[in-house]
Amino acid sequence: MEQTELRNTLTFLSSELNRIQTVAGTLSTVESQHYKDLTNMGDDKLNQIAIEEQSAARQLGEIKQICISLSQKIDQLNNQNG
């Protein structure tokens, strides 16, 4: 794979990871708000749903962090290859 093609591929991957990171961050924020809203309603069934929302928010937060780490690694590779 030639340098230009490699650089273009890495740039594309970084861009897509940034998009995933943004979506995951937004969804995580929404899920966290759902958790807060549901726990304030005082219903046991809604509290159970709230716990699931909190778990989803954490998992989305992890996806966001993975994307950030991968994007940083891609940036390092791009910098090393000129």
Is residue 82 pLDDT above 70, yes or no? no
Q: Express each pLDDT in 11-40 by its tens digit.
A: 999 999 999 999 999 999 999 999 999 999
Q: Express each pLDDT in 46-72 by its tens digit.
A: 999 999 999 999 999 999 999 999 999
Q: Express each pLDDT in 5-14 by its tens digit.
A: 988 999 999 9
DSSP string, 6-68: HHHHHHHHHHHHHHHHHHHHHHHHHHHHHHHHHHTT--HHHHHHHHHHHHHHHHHHHHHHHHH
Distance CA 12, CA 43 (A): 46
